[in-house]
Amino acid sequence: MTSPVVQTCPECGARLDVDPRFSVWCPHCEWNLTPASEAAEATEQPRHGAAHTDRTARTAHADRTEQLYEDLAAGHGATGRRDWLAASAVAAAVHLSTTALLAWALWLLVTGNTPLRCLGAGALAVVVLLRPRLGRVPRDEHVLDRHRAPALYGLVDRLAAQVGADPVGVIRIDGTFNATIGVVGLRRRSVLTLGLQLWEALTDQQRIALLGHELAHRVNGDHRRGLWLGSAIGALAHWHDLARPRRRAGSPGGLQLLFQLADLISDALLGGLAWLLLRAVRLLDRLTARAGQQAEYHADELAARAASTTAARGLLETLLLEGAADTLVTRLRADRIHRPRAVRRGAARPPQEPVTATLWEQLREHLATIPPLERERLLRRSALRQDAVDATHPPTHLRLALLDRRPSHPAVVTTTATESAAIAAELAPHRERVARALLAD
């Protein structure tokens, strides 16, 4: 054991414990809460998508987010019903214009002469691009078959019954630090995707909270991923993409000036259309953001009721460690790529298996050794930056705060040691596959 290094805070003079693995910061005055390297990274990647890239939009979004939290914490059951209705009306306008375009295309194809028929065919192609996408049940290597994973499907079925959702259609396993649920096909079957980086970082009970939250998405009144709203948002994004002016390569010869002029005019027209479409996307985004966040808080509550408030808190706290997990995986990948070169030619190369075999153990160990002071920094930084898992979730610190404001729940769904061992065995082949994929260049 090395003796702890001590430093004083340059701002307030408090004594600071230093862990060389992490940046030094002051929990008293929050000096260096966000070191320069992280601040740069935060401005590079806007976390709320294109709709909130400018600063004012971001501040307004943050204000609305805070307001919703205050309303819910104060016990006002802020209903998003009016917002959902308005959003559905915007979606109806989008669907109506797609239908009108389809009718026009068909009319041209049936009644027009050759040039008009060509125009009709073009319009039909646009309609095909804008059509609602139902998606289909995936059949790739990520899929975990129900008959091959009775223990995990059994647990998920129990949780679905607990939160009042339909049983899931398919469970998929990938390498992300996340979990998602979506619905596909005409029969609207749900596809639950579990990211192994997150799954492996959680305790058994926190995994139940994770499954509970995802399944709650099927019953929490979140319409953003529904067919009506979801496909309208998709169609608007396609419209916007079609209208966005692009840089073209210069045309050859004396016609260049004429081409440039034509480009200029079409760019101006398309630019105007793209601007209007972007407004519509933002309107839908604003209308659904509040109601969507409310649905997320409700999913957290359902997860806490199934898995216990403690487990739901633990899950949310683990979500803050995504950066730490990413750093470790990146380091191990670099080690794996560079090490073989260092091995003297002719010497027996170390087999590659050990790195993939121990990835998950190393990940768990790495996350478990993150000291409370660093965890506290990540939590406060998340509050400062309004960090969310993604654009659709409220910031993690507010989700934690709301759980604390609500009554604490004991666990209703639990797993026995035999059951969790069976689940681990079912996941073993995927653990191996995902580890290889994560550590390959």
| Residues lying near Zn ion in the complex (CB under 5 A) | 9, 11-12, 14, 26, 28-29, 31, 296
12 versus 118: smaller Cβ distance to Zn ion: 12
| Maximum Cα interatomic distance, the chain, rounded to a whole number of Å | 87
CB-based contact 159:212 (threshold 8 Å):
yes
Closest approach of Cβ 28 to Zn ion, in Å? 5
220 versus 420: smaller Cβ distance to Zn ion: 220
14 versus 85: smaller Cβ distance to Zn ion: 14
Best CA proximity match to 212, nearest among 172, 256, 251, 155: 155
210 versus 427: smaller Cβ distance to Zn ion: 210
Long-range pairs of 29-32 with CB within 8 A, sequence gap ≥ 24: 30/380
309 versus 356: smaller Cβ distance to Zn ion: 309
Closest approach of Cβ 42 to Zn ion, in Å? 21
For residue 347, give the 3-state DSSP assignment: coil
Amino acid at 302: L
- What is the C-alpha to C-alpha distance for residues 201 and 322, in angstroms, rounded to an integer? 10
- What is the C-alpha to C-alpha distance for residues 140 and 121, in angstroms, rounded to an integer? 34
98 versus 206: smaller Cβ distance to Zn ion: 206
Closest approach of Cβ 27 to Zn ion, in Å? 8
175 versus 212: smaller Cβ distance to Zn ion: 212
383 versus 437: smaller Cβ distance to Zn ion: 383
Query: Do you know the residue count of the chain?
Result: 441
Closest approach of Cβ 317 to Zn ion, in Å? 16
Token digits of residue 369: 């050794």
120 versus 212: smaller Cβ distance to Zn ion: 212
Token digits of residue 221: 């009144």
Best CA proximity match to 405, nearest among 301, 325, 290: 301
Amino acid at 327: T
Long-range pairs of 126-131 with CB within 8 A, sequence gap ≥ 24: 126/101, 126/242, 127/98, 127/101, 127/102, 129/238, 129/242, 130/98, 130/101, 130/235, 130/238, 130/239, 131/98
Instruction: Give the other-Cβ count within 10 Å of 401's Cβ.
Output: 15
Token digits of residue 113: 């002469």
Closest approach of Cβ 393 to Zn ion, in Å? 5
- What is the C-alpha to C-alpha distance for residues 282 and 58, in angstroms, rounded to an integer? 12
The residue assigned the tokens 């929050």 is 30
Closest approach of Cβ 16 to Zn ion, in Å? 8
Phi, psi of 80 (to 5 degrees): -90, 15
For residue 184, give the 3-state DSSP assignment: strand
